[in-house]
A and B are shown apart, each in its own frame.
Chain A
């Protein structure tokens, strides 16, 4: 029933008391809690998202997009037909890594990801990604907010604005170890959407996850019992106000927010505490195993959040993938840090039957050039080509979509732009990206701005 209709009814002889009751009901139903779960627009394949962000720009031709012709033509300049500008210093550089066919699907994956390769049959590789932004800042913002230079709400904010969240005792949008660089908080900010939709950071990059927590989640001063007494006083004062105000959804909202917060502060530590996980699980994620420890904790935390009904979870491997030089060594090391934890996350989700409706996305902000740099052991930024992969949540498993040109210098076949990726993510969540809008400054805004096509081919 609409509010208008309720009021019409109320105007036709409902008593005042009845009206108050009705309004009370409606206020609850209508969004005193803007994060209440909302139905998707059509049946959703994914109920939640885990976004694994590889900050810095992993080289697609060294990870998920093998280019044998780079070996054949090593040392030659990039042809002008592919955007080469005849610069003799820019020479095609073969990948220092071998690629292997993996799983039944035979997806070719770089040797630096041996564990992820074992999950090949769950992966949906999109090898034809392209984006805007030659520099990190622009491309990172494009990926996270849909716009490279203007301030817009982040993807996670749009998603919880559209769908609310399942567990009211936890934030709906969490970002684990976010980077303060390249846009920082903008990448999980709500911009012109109400603040309630902004992402909640858990720690930040550079802080060990063992010390990371959500701000203000613990009181530090009072025991829960004492705090409950204090809160009861607050709520009694609030109810006294409400009694005098007679009808006020804002006051109702305040009262509800305290109860929610009180539950949240007891719930969050339970979810973030890894103590209850078995040794086998910790080992699976590579926790307490040197290089994999920190990212392993992030991935395990992501699974725990997913399991507990958080709608959008981002995990960041921050600003490590920018190899203008020392690519072989540093890509190897970076891969070692994330390979085992990510594979563990996929396996763990699967064994808990969560992968089917959890969309896992792996992406950097852009790819890297086919030509070498830094004594032919590095590559420059390349927004014209990169690989993103998805797993679970309705993404087609064991599948490769699109292709780059012979050297991986640009996306060529079935090109997928960042806008298209966003449209597809929303689609898997049961949202028509053109209908998820917010009226601001005189017009309706969307995550996909005025672009975006759902890539139907990657939907299982």
Chain B
């Protein structure tokens, strides 16, 4: 079995490189008789009496102790090692079995027979020989496969032995109450209606309830009043904006690439809108998964349906990419790695990307599994042809799909093919001229040529020959991307005869260039200014761009000035300017390359080709370009291939090829190699496998996330990691119940959310209970509702809601500044002064708005299923001093002032209602009135005008409400 032995070699290599601890606890292997002793006397007892609570299969591992592996016994649990080989008296396991220590007695109900205990004592004396330790590596193949999360979801019986039956509104409650009653904890009383409405409205829409909604709910005394509210909110389009945003965290959604080349993703928003719409339409979750991983491979009905499914695959394209990586192969491997990471974390709650360089250190995920998945993504095209940024406004280097009708798309494809062919012919001919210095000799150009060598240079420019593009004569100049506004180059021709001249300018394009280079033509008293984008290739023939036809006076009074003023967007280069008198120009007026110059090239290198004809053809084709189509970030099928293992992740050191496949520990298919067709990537198969009811993780992971968004704390409180390092579920029966119900109800996200919210558990108050707190301080068992902080988006949206400025426009492109290409060189960009919901602001990697930065918005470079919650001075500074909060406070105060016939108290009450969904209590009302009066008095020196002073007082009051903890917390 050569393949098998290769694998062993590979693992050993890996172990050597990584210094994996080799579990050689006991010098020698157990002898045959020792092994027999263990197998006959010890293992059966462990299995029967202990594994229920102390094995990877245990529903709940007690005391952190695992007895089903040798490592587990030696490592022990929370209280220390279970055995000390050779010393029964010091072995806690033996002490427990002996039943003499009152604090330590196992098994819990009755002691084991004396003979059995004696066997164990003898076994420990023997040095605890354990044939299960035959494996040479800490993580033997197979170790950890018993982990609870890798076992199928079990259908759970709703607990019936409940005392407080009245509390049980939904099966969920029975699961929770059963745990609480076991621990003798009383659930918190129900929340009052205002608190509940505020909670539900934020949870489902990310916005506060309006005063009208509050009165309607208070007035509705029917038993299903809350149900009515939940159904109303689930139908609101704001629901998709709220829950879609949760998903975007996992999809590491961003409107720019990030890393060191932070180019914008101008079409990312289509994926964002797709996600919002999917939640609003209650798209079945299994379908949602299939579309994001393999939408392009699913059957479609209409062209719109097709487009939606392409857009969905933007999920795979949105990752950050190291476009500057010099090694193409590494770039590809990194893109694949990122796709594996986001796919396995978001859908499966697994950290598979850990297995890129070595077998997963904690989970039974061998490197082979990683490369089995890598094959699928390698067979998928995510980067454009050369994986290098294409010069242009956005440096696009990823795959997009045009969103036209069939006819429109075909026209574009046909056009592209024709253009590419003609361009390639021209390029190959033209490129032969590169042996010339700079490719172009000024002496052989027609008209008057002023090269940078003759130009008048102001400020510090550097000579360069760095560019691989054509330039005139020996070199060109660059401004070092510094001293902006201080550098100029003046090209002053000697015009022999006044008249009309065509002016051409040559420069070497590159992606680091400025996009707005001012070029001024001084022709006598006439001045014209143009702006040049030097990232774009010159329009005429790879060297020259046409500036226009200009009347020039005789002599030296004409100047073409190129400056670097206002060119923060990048380097400015200058090379040469050419002036061709109109009457002398050829029929091809636009052609700056002279017959003389090209003749030489033609004579020497292009014998037999027609240079002009090729050029004309390109121009003609280009002139007939169909209008550009909208497009979406989307993947395509590539050439199907298997990946080879990269030793330690090094793409230059390749080992075995691995057939494409899934994650073996949870792969329950009978024939694991059969599913992949030779001609397809396997993405569709992967999507089907993940979106299957049989996958033990998919449904569990999603219901756990939904729970987290509604309770603050997830059942598995490491929502992106269900592996061995993840937290154990606080209520495994409940988790499985929810997962089963979710699948049974057609993977409906709305039904799941609804059923959770209609439980007593969700509707509890956040009231403190010292007894319960002492027993369960983290509220793992859910004896009350946790107080939760609003996310940055909900906080901002709530501020806009109370100020009355919230812009209700939904969807569409993220608002960039005029020139999105700025991002690339500037690295950051001010968020436009927009009042749209936060989900519609551009999410920029390395360029998050301050509010998002300080309020724990997750770094959008990587998927994040759980956000940090920190309290920091920077948050307080933002709320106290940022123009955003100040302006919105002002708007809110003005809106309150405009409500007719309210006195101060009524206005204060209204403000409290809008901010907190409740009225102030007596002391708060008095305190607020006192603040307004005192402030008004104290501000007299600052603001003499009593009207303005009063406005300032109200603005400060409104800001104080926004600043208060209650505004940004849910009770």
Contact = CB atoms under 8 A, between A and B. Distances in A.
A267 to B, nearest CB: 11
B260 A11 contact: no
A260 B877 CA distance: 9
Interface string A94-115: 0000000000000000000000
B873 interface: yes
Nearest to A252: B871
B939 A256 contact: no
B482 interface: yes
A229 B938 contact: yes
Contact of B856 (A194, A245, A325): A194
Contact of B960 (A194, A218, A234, A260): A234
B870 A264 contact: no
B877 A264 contact: yes
Max chain A Cβ within 10 angstroms of own Cβ: one of B326, B466, B859, B882:
B859
A136 B935 contact: no
A296 interface: no
Contacts of B850: 215-216
B827 A247 contact: no
Interface stretch (A61-69, A79-87, A177-185): A177-185
A210 interface: no
Max chain A Cβ within 10 angstroms of own Cβ: one of B880, B935, B969:
B880
Contacts of A35: 872
A98 to B, nearest CB: 24
Interface in A32-50: 32, 34-35
B957 interface: yes
Interface string B647-679: 000000000000000000000000000000000
Nearest to A182: B260
Nearest to B912: A237
B463 A231 contact: no
A343 interface: no
Contact of B880 (A184, A219, A319, A320): A219
A185 B956 contact: no
Nearest to A325: B462
Contacts of B463: 325-326, 374-375
Interface stretch (A195-203, A349-357, A392-400, A410-418): A195-203
Contact of B351 (A7, A229, A233, A441): A441
Contact of A3 (B777, B869, B876, B942): B777
B109 to A, nearest CB: 26
Interface stretch (B179-187, B425-433, B697-705, B720-728): B720-728
A10 B345 CA distance: 40
A35 B482 CA distance: 38
Nearest to A149: B322
Interface in A180-226: 180-186, 189, 191-192, 194-196, 198, 200, 206, 215-223, 225-226
A459 interface: no
Contacts of B938: 225-226, 229
A257 B934 contact: no
B354 interface: yes
Contact of A245 (B466, B787, B876): B787
B870 A251 contact: no
Given A32-B871, A251-B965, A443 B324 contact: no
Max chain B Cβ within 10 angstroms of own Cβ: one of A220, A227, A233, A319:
A233
B259 A137 contact: yes
B881 A220 contact: yes
Interface string A159-190: 00000000000010000000111111110010
Contact of A217 (B482, B848, B881): B881
A251 B969 CA distance: 9
B878 interface: yes
Contacts of B721: 441-442
A230 B959 contact: yes
B464 interface: yes
Interface stretch (B56-64, B376-384, B923-931): B923-931
Interface in A333-374: 374
A182 to B, nearest CB: 5
A11 B775 contact: yes
Nearest to B478: A325
Given A185-B828, A223-B942, A229-B938, A192 B768 contact: no
Contacts of B939: 226
Given A138-B260, A183-B846, A261 B931 contact: no
Nearest to B876: A261
Interface string A229-256: 1111110111011000111101101111
Contact of B869 (A151, A250, A258, A439): A250
Given A233-B931, A264-B877, A443-B354, A149 B259 contact: yes
Given A16-B770, A196-B872, A233-B931, 15 more contacts: A11-B774, A135-B260, A141-B259, A182-B260, A216-B877, A230-B931, A230-B957, A237-B927, A238-B964, A238-B966, A251-B965, A256-B871, A257-B871, A325-B463, A441-B721
9 contacts: A179-B827, A195-B874, A225-B938, A237-B966, A251-B965, A258-B876, A325-B464, A442-B354, A442-B363
